[in-house]
Amino acid sequence: MSAKEFMKWSSELFDEVVRASGVKRAVDKLTLPIWSWALRNSLFPLHFGIACCALEMAAASAARFDAERFGFVFRSSPRQCDVLLVNGWVTTKLRPDLRRLYEQMPEPKWVVAMGECAISGGPWYDSYNVVQGLDTFIPVDIYIPGCPPRPEAMLDGFMKLQDKIRAEMKGTFLED
């Protein structure tokens, strides 16, 4: 038996024993609130400015509104993020890139549609180049209405997302 085979055999054995004995269920149940607490209090939205709402996103993370006190720190790489904040109209040229950004983000992940344009096309309802709503190609968790929403509204939307994560109780100690 090679080292690689031994690792595979031992981890499978361990996994089977933990599952069969009910230890996995107990550990999952015990650690679930901790996972949920950690997930909702360290939301890292993607730093991706599209249009008008991007300035309100910047204002929300700046001095007066200070989003960091709620645990939202903007990161520039989709690999480090768990919230895709779409703040502007989605054009047909941007659509594949946005889809790819969403797919590059690791699970668990959430999507926030900020502003009328991302929700439903907004003032560009009859435009030939604007996708009428982000939810036509990405599942959306939270909608923040406004054109553009005030920073307070954006913070409120993120707190709604925290409530949603609390209610979802996602996260397990051992992968299924």
Partner 1 sequence: MAEMWINMGPQHPMTHGLWNLRVKVEGETILDAEPVIGYLHRGWEKLTEYRTYPQIIPLSDRLCYGSSMTWSHLYCLTIEDLMGIEVPERAEYIRVVVLELQRIASHLMWIAAYGTDLGLLTAFVYCMRERELFLDLLQSVTGARMTYNYPRIGGVRNDLPPDFERDCLRALDYFEKKIDEYEEIFDGSEIFLMRTRGIGILKPADGMNLGVTGATLRGSGVKIDLRKHDPYSVYDELDWEICTHPDCDCYARYRVRMDEMRMSCQIVREALKKMPAGPIRVKAPRNAPKKTAYARVEDPRGEGLMYVIGNGTDKPYRLKVRSPIFVTVSAVPIMLRGYKVADVPSIMGSVDMCLGETDR
Residues forming the site for partner 1 (CB under 8 A)? 46-52, 54-56, 58-59, 62-64, 76, 78, 88-89, 91, 93-94, 97, 101, 123-124, 126-130, 147-148, 150
- Closer CB to partner 1, 52 or 138, in the complex: 52
Residues 6+ apart with CB under 8 A from 145: 115, 116, 119, 153
- Closer CB to partner 1, 15 or 97, in the complex: 97
Minimum distance, C-beta of residue 172 to partner 1, in the bound complex (Å): 30
- Closer CB to partner 1, 95 or 166, in the complex: 95
- Closer CB to partner 1, 40 or 116, in the complex: 116
HSE toward the beta carbon, residue 39, CA cutoff 13 A: 25
Kindly provide the b/e burial profile for residues 64-80, where b requires at least 16 CB atoms within 10 angstroms of the residue's own CB: ebebeebebebeeebee
- Closer CB to partner 1, 10 or 77, in the complex: 77
Minimum distance, C-beta of residue 90 to partner 1, in the bound complex (Å): 10
Q: Kindly state the DSSP code that residue 137 receives in the 8-state scheme.
A: T
* Separation CA 139–CA 129 (nearest Å): 21
Backbone angles phi, psi at 109, to 5 degrees: -140, 155
Minimum distance, C-beta of residue 108 to partner 1, in the bound complex (Å): 20
Minimum distance, C-beta of residue 51 to partner 1, in the bound complex (Å): 6
Strand pairing class (110-114; 142-144): parallel
